[in-house]
Amino acid sequence: MRVIVVGAGVLGTMHAWQAVERGHEVLHIEREVEARGASVRNFGQIWVSGRAGGQELATALRARELWEGIGDRVPGLGFRAIGSLTVVKNAAERAVAEAATRRPDAAARGYRLLDADEAREINPALRGGFAGALWCERDAAVEPRVAQRALRDELLGSGRYRYLGGREVREVVGERAVRDDHGETHRGDAVVLCPGAWLGGLVRELVPDLPVRRVRLQMMQTDPLGEPLTTSVADADSFRYYPAYRSDALDALQAGQAQTPTAAAHKMQLLMVQRADGGLTIGDTHEYEAPFAFDTVEEPYEHLTGVVESILGRPLPRIRRRWAGVYAQCTDTARVVHRQQARDGVWLVTGPGGRGMTCSPAIAETTANELGW
């Protein structure tokens, strides 16, 4: 088959990967020179711990397996099976973590409740004051700023992959063909559109009532920490935003322990991952009401700095970069992704939300299976 994939973020790249792996020829088209959206503006976390039970967890676990296999073949991904620690500071937060360890799928996630000393044995950089942590052994990380480039280089070596950057697809022409903004028409046996958060233009014309919304977030990255941060790290505010932690204990926490005003206003949690150069990627906020602001605001960064310093027990290194990103999320947030046949031979796949980096290999595998590749 000749498969045309539109969009070179992680979701589009994984669809191209699946097609090439199955022996097909791929033309990959991206409107930028290379991906510049949420796929490069995220933590690079393969985040199993907070996923909802059932299909979402199964998708994340399958994706985690696929990421590890791809990482063995493509060292440039920077795949690391580092696990995660969600730090708790009082009895109410610890109760939520303990409830998570009683889930029927806790063993599949690799959950274990640790005291502070046990957490520091796993991650000695955590020298601040806290009561314990929820360990999730199945979490992992890759390097988001270089992952798509590393995957593309590997695909180019197959001899069955062609990449066209700087081409915006403007029109679906008949069946299984698209026309780009250079006036060139590309024909194949299947077309898969993975537009990320770019939901206007062609996407709106094809699916006017697309059940997907856009979400904006703010993040930052520091200079090198100067020592290993051996796991990814979250704070107990993350319990409020991930479905795996829903429980009576979480209800009690939310009723009795409010977030700080800044965290509540910006719908914040701490997530933190160390990059290959030693710097820390730290976030994040959530904004759901468009139109989004064009600038970033300082209060969330100040809040995150305080939270991180309290966990590390030391000053944060100099902030090197700050940025905002936008991703696409299904309006029915229980759905892992929106997959729809938009025309004969043309499929639209979008809306994984904050699960895109985690779940994209398994989402693409499911697309390939459903399309009979």
> Mean per-residue pLDDT for 162-172?
97
Tell me, what DSSP letter sits at residue 97?
H
Tell me the pTM.
0.97
Structure tokens at 222: 């520091």
- Nearest CA to 38 out of 365, 356, 292, 362 is that of 356
In the chain, what are the domain boundaries?
A: 1-81+141-211+333-373, 84-137+212-330
Hey, which residues does 338 pair with through a beta bridge?
Answer: 350
Position 175 scores a pLDDT of 86
Q: Please report where in the chains the tokens 């759905």 appear, as a residue.
A: 335
Partners of residue 87 on adjacent β-strands: 133, 235
- Distance, in Å, from the CA atom of 160 to the CA atom of 28, rounded to the nearest integer, reads 11
Name the band, by pLDDT with cuts 50, 70 and 90, for residue 174: confident
**Who's near 359: CB < 8 A, 6+ residues apart?**
56, 59, 60, 63, 336, 337, 352
Beta-strand pair 25-30/161-165: parallel
CATH 3.50.50.60 is right for the domain spanning 1-81+141-211+333-373:
yes
Contact by Cβ (8 Å): 271, 238: yes
HSE, side-chain direction, 13 A CA sphere, residue 339:
18
What is the tens place of the pLDDT at every residue in 210-268? 999 999 999 999 999 999 999 999 999 999 999 999 999 999 999 999 999 999 999 99
What is the gyration radius of the CA atoms in the chain, in angstroms? 21
Q: Of 206, 229, 195, whose CA–CA distance to 45 is shortest? A: 229
Any idea what the Cα angle at residue 230 is, between residues 128 and 272, rounded to 5°? Answer: 65
CATH number of 84-137+212-330: 3.30.9.10
